[in-house]
Structure 1
Amino acid sequence: MHYGAHPDQHLQFFEPEHSTARGAVMIIHGGYWRERYTAQLGVPLAQDLAARGIPAYNLEYRRGTGSAAAMLADARLALGLIKEDGPITLIGHSAGAQLACVLAANDPRVTQVVSQAGLLDLEYARRQGLSDSAVDLLLDGAPLATYSPVELWPMPARVVIFHGREDADVPLKIAQRAAHKAAALGQDYRFALFPGDHYTWIDPRSSQWAACVRALSPAHY
């Protein structure tokens, strides 16, 4: 499904043969907001959800330098294509978790965000110069506070903060800072650490992904 004229403005729908869930889940891939990382990363997860009876959507969106506002606009348009009634959970990996949280803060239809090794604190990521100053490239002069999840809390949607102890791409400190900020601000959240690196989250055979699926209950069942 296309929601705009740009080639990256499309949303894949994975329809269960027999739906056993209320609402739907939207997968948002990561990649430090760079164009070479695509929605193909989210396909195995969406397929797994559909096999479990959960309607699943996989988002592609505009990325690249200065794309912060365009990404949010795209995510909001795509969210409008979700046809199921009931709760909407966003599962975002890495930079996808950043977009998921910003979308949730700007759209009340989102009831829960599951952050898989998420870039939830852009100020910290910027100070660390992560991925060759990816935050500065993303923002390109846009206000950081508008697009940094921890600056948007509390918000109505629940945030599940999952992170791997061996993550070498997004430091564990980001998750810890995010959990501390959530507690201080009264944000509804859950925080849990797991073994594994940055990529175990997007392997549908992993125990980390199984934890993400469990986090969907009881909202969708």
Structure 2
Amino acid sequence: MQFCQPEHTTAQGAVMIIHGGYWREKYRADLGLPLAQDLAQRGIPAYNLEYRRGPGSAAKMLADARLALGLIKEEGPITLIGHSAGAQLACVLAASDPRVSQVISQAGVLDLEWARRLKLSDGAVDELLADAPMAMYSPVELWPSTARVVIFHGRDDQDVPVKIARLAADKAAAVGQEYRFALFASDHYTWIDPHSSQWAACVAALSPLHY
């Protein structure tokens, strides 16, 4: 895990960035590093998580995320910002650890059953789970959790269809999960551009929790 320390801390607590990549090994934490660096420049302590990926890695990646969360030294609220598959891991981690105050899902894979039905990324869900029970790792099956969930998604997303986000928002409302849902005119990758208006929306969602 990489720690990006602000020169002058102006925020309470900390933020952890969790990169995506459909749980495959070739996608690494360098995807999330620009976001963590941007947060540090804004005075927010930011951690950039790396975790084990690959076939059957569901339990291993959750163990890595739990270990990393325990290393955060700042007191105060913790927000997890997860992109794509990283949002799935962020929600699962939040459901198992009350230290997490908020999850911001950037184009998140929040419903593994629908992701499986749609055969997203050539069967990535089955590859991830192997013999692991889906109910333990599908965010919508773990709600309500104590962490607020912000569901941000692009209308033009071709990698994780907007249907996934709409279904997740419906499930959150049905089970009493605290949530916010917003759609943007964006694709799947705009979220991880620190110069984009979509990333600016994620930064804005850190208030008033961290400021």
Question: Shared topology, TM-score over 0.5?
Answer: yes
1:50-65 equivalence runs, <5 A: 50-65=40-55
Aligned-partner residue type, residue 85 of structure 1? E
Aligned partners of 1:146 and 1:43: how far apart in 2? 28
Residue deviations 1:37-91, cap 9 Å, x none? 0000001100000000000000000000000000100000000110000000000
CA-CA distance at 1:141 after TM superposition: 1.2
Aligned partners of 2:187 and 2:84: how far apart in 1? 12
User: Percent of aligned positions with the same letter in both sequences?
Assistant: 81
Q: Does 1:169 align with 2:149?
A: no
Q: Which runs of 5+ in 2 are unaligned?
A: none
Match of 2:73? 83
TM-score by length of 2: 1.00
2:117 alignment partner, one of 127, 134, 153 = 127
Q: Secondary structure at the match of 2:121?
A: helix
Aligned partners of 2:73 and 2:52: how far apart in 1? 22
Aligned partners of 2:80 and 2:185: how far apart in 1? 22
TM-score by length of 1: 0.95
Aligned-partner residue type, residue 110 of structure 1? V
Aligned partners of 2:19 and 2:112: how far apart in 1? 17
Aligned partners of 2:140 and 2:130: how far apart in 1? 19
Q: Secondary structure at the match of 2:48?
A: strand
1:22 alignment partner, one of 5, 8, 12 = 12
Residue deviations 1:81-139, cap 9 Å, x none? 10000000000000000000000000010000000000000000001110010000000
Aligned-partner residue type, residue 18 of structure 2? I
Q: Which runs of 5+ in 1 are unaligned?
A: 1-10
Match of 1:3? none
Match of 1:109? 99
Structure 1 stretches of 4+ moved >6 Å: none
Aligned partners of 1:196 and 1:98: how far apart in 2? 20
Residue deviations 1:141-182, cap 9 Å, x none? 110000000000000000000000100000000000000000
Q: Does 1:38 align with 2:47?
A: no
Match of 1:179? 169
Q: Does 1:136 align with 2:126?
A: yes
Match of 1:209? 199
1:149 alignment partner, one of 133, 139, 161 = 139
